Structure 1
Amino acid sequence: MSSNGTSPLTPLAQEALEALATAIPPGGELTYEQAYAVLAEEEDLGEPAAKDIIEKLYNKGRLYEVEGKLRLTDYGSE
């Protein structure tokens, strides 16, 4: 069980997070359009599905937004 109180991600959300993590340079960021393109290419998701996954990742604290761009939290450093 997770000690930080968050529920685990679905397999699709985890795969999407990993695809985004691969696409973002360390300490970098992506625009929403870039994130949608990554998920379209890597996970074969259309924009509505990509938006939904990104929203879920955001709500679970795995992504955050700075000046309209997405950044990853340090989820992999656990």
Structure 2
Amino acid sequence: MVSNETSPLTPLAQEALDALARALPDERELTYEQAYVVLAEEEDLERPAAEDIIERLYNKGHVYEVEGKLRLTDYGSE
């Protein structure tokens, strides 16, 4: 059976998304380098793993890119 909803994030991906959300500056966007640093410091992820997690978040629509910077999609806007 195929669902119209996206599959849930893995626990690691959800933790990474939460860490990125907590680290967002007032501008509400992060450079890729800032995101990699956050994931290294908060989630102990090496660069290749951080790149993979960010790509997964992007592919699932949780983050998007504007002019080379990452923004979170409606994170915690409820």
Normalised by the length of structure 2, the TM-score is: 0.89
d(CA) in 2 for partners of 1:4, 1:25: 33
User: Which residue of the partner structure matches residue 9 of structure 1?
Assistant: 9
Code of the residue aligned with 1:5 in structure 2: it is E
How many residues in Structure 1 have an aligned counterpart in Structure 2? 76
d(CA) in 2 for partners of 1:67, 1:47: 21
d(CA) in 1 for partners of 2:52, 2:8: 16
Give, in angstroms, the shift of residue 57 of structure 1: 0.2
Higher Cα radius of gyration: 2
Give, in angstroms, the shift of residue 26 of structure 1: 5.1
| Identity rate, percent | 82
Normalised by the length of structure 1, the TM-score is: 0.89
Q: Which runs of 5+ in 2 are unaligned?
A: none
Q: Which runs of 5+ in 1 are unaligned?
A: none
